[in-house]
Amino acid sequence: MKAILQKKYGQPSDLEIGVVEKPTPKDTEVLVKVKAASINDSDWGLIRGQPLVIRLFFGLRKPKIHIPGIDISGTIEAVGSKVNSFKIGDEIYCDLTECGFGGFAEYVCVPENVLSKKPSNISFIDAAALPHAGILALQGLVDMGKVKSGQRVLINGAGGGVGTLGIQILKSYDVMVTGVDSGEKLDLMKSLGFDEVIDYKKVDFTASGEKYDLILDTKSTRSPIKYTRALKKNGTYVTIGGWMNKLLEIFLLGPLISLFTGKKLKVLFHQPNKGLDQLSSLVEAGQIKPVIDGPHPFDEIPRLIQYFGEGRHLGKVVVEINQ
């Protein structure tokens, strides 16, 4: 089968398009014929081996994972002897973060307990855009952020996958939502329903004097004190990514800041696929639909990962793998 191969840490251009043996599922696994996959920050980090903490988990000198890719949709082609909930031909989608990556290939073996059935009213392309970003948005805004009607909410990095799905999740709440991203993405954000949009290159939302009940940050780059100033009394700041030193500061100082100010600063530790059935329900009800950058051809994956890493994408970058 065809696959994107990572043999060393480096740049996306170092990835190779190669042919490897088609895998065989274990007793509790299924073999998925991958129809589509999307690109995520974890792919960008794994391929470069940065931040360096990544290497503690995936190999110090060279990566233990040889095929990147975590978000997939596809059909089940074979099942292990102990698989009970799925059958050959089922259409599925999932996040492979906790089971060895491998999404940028024509086939991948996936544990049964990771899978969810693809909502019938969306394409494989749309489904591949949902598992990672959609769950981050759901866990950040609803589970950890405890969003409530009447609040002012800000999403930083609003033009990417998490932000474009997050605004749609928030539509079922009576909230005012501000989105922050680069100027090229503001028209898209307005079309999705953001009440206010900010070009981060022109305005620092932490220094504008505006205050919010809930902030979801996809790219933390400032000190915890600056984020605290942008929160209303008893407000909550949730980060899902960013510079490692800033994430560490927020994690360590957050409880102390909360003790003295009542404002909560939290780092979300992503729980892959937890809430995917809830996300499916929102999709089936027509409440959310991903914004797709693509679909792009398989051979473009190395270039697209660089494109993603530069932050130029709109919504989710999706690649078609098996038509």
How far apart are the C-alpha atoms of 214 and 221, rounded to whole Å? Answer: 17
Q: How far is CA 2 from CA 64, 106, 322, in A?
A: 19, 6, 10
Count of domains observed in the chain: 2
Contact status, residue 155 vs residue 192, Cβ threshold 8 Å: no
Query: Does residue 276 lie in a domain region?
Result: no
Does residue 51 have a cis peptide bond before it, meaning omega lies within 30 degrees of 0?
yes
Q: Are residues 38 and 105 in the same domain?
A: yes
Query: Does residue 274 lie in a domain region?
Result: no
Any idea what the CATH number is for the domain that residue 74 is in? 3.90.180.10
Query: Does residue 194 lie in a domain region?
Result: yes
Query: Does residue 284 lie in a domain region?
Result: no
Alpha helices in the chain (DSSP H): 41-48, 54-58, 124-128, 131-138, 161-170, 186-192, 224-229, 244-261, 276-284, 301-309
Query: Does residue 272 lie in a domain region?
Result: no
Any idea what the CATH number is for the domain that residue 183 is in? 3.40.50.720
Reported as a single tens digit per residue, the pLDDT across 158-180 is: 999 999 999 999 999 999 999 99
How far apart are the C-alpha atoms of 287 and 138, rounded to whole Å? Answer: 13
Q: Are residues 221 and 235 in the same domain?
A: yes
Q: What is the CA radius of gyration of the chain?
A: 20
Q: Are residues 141 and 126 in the same domain?
A: no
pTM (two decimals): 0.94
Q: Are residues 223 and 308 in the same domain?
A: no
Identify the residue whose tokens are 């709109």. Answer: 314
Query: Does residue 141 lie in a domain region?
Result: yes
Listed in sequence order, the residues at least 6 apart from 168 whose beta carbon sits closer than 8 Å to its beta carbon are 192, 193, 282, 287, 288, 289
Query: Does residue 21 lie in a domain region?
Result: yes
Contact status, residue 179 vs residue 155, Cβ threshold 8 Å: yes
| Maximum distance among all Cα pairs of the chain, rounded to whole angstroms | 60
Q: Are residues 143 and 80 in the same domain?
A: no
The dihedrals phi and psi of 57, each to the nearest 5 degrees, come to: -100, -30
Per-residue confidence (pLDDT) for residue 215, from 0 to 100: 98
Listed in sequence order, the residues at least 6 apart from 204 whose beta carbon sits closer than 8 Å to its beta carbon are none
Amino acid making up residue 219 = K
| Domain range for 255 | 133-267
Q: Are residues 120 and 15 in the same domain?
A: yes
Enumerate long-range contacts of 304-309, CB under 8 Å, 24 or more apart. Answer: 304/39, 305/12, 305/15, 305/39, 305/43, 305/44, 305/47, 306/11, 306/12, 306/13, 308/39, 308/40, 308/41, 308/43, 308/44, 309/12, 309/44, 309/48
How far apart are the C-alpha atoms of 279 and 241, rounded to whole Å? Answer: 21
Per-residue confidence (pLDDT) for residue 207, from 0 to 100: 96
Per-residue confidence (pLDDT) for residue 52, from 0 to 100: 87
Q: Are residues 158 and 259 in the same domain?
A: yes
Per-residue confidence (pLDDT) for residue 236, from 0 to 100: 98
Identify the residue whose tokens are 């290159």. Answer: 201
Q: Are residues 221 and 112 in the same domain?
A: no
Q: Are residues 43 and 118 in the same domain?
A: yes
Per-residue confidence (pLDDT) for residue 213, from 0 to 100: 98
Q: Are residues 213 and 311 in the same domain?
A: no
Q: Are residues 126 and 161 in the same domain?
A: no
Collapsing DSSP to helix, strand or coil, 260 comes out as: helix
Per-residue confidence (pLDDT) for residue 53, from 0 to 100: 87
| Regions in the chain scoring below 70 on pLDDT | none
CA 294 to chain centre: 16
Q: Are residues 311 and 212 in the same domain?
A: no
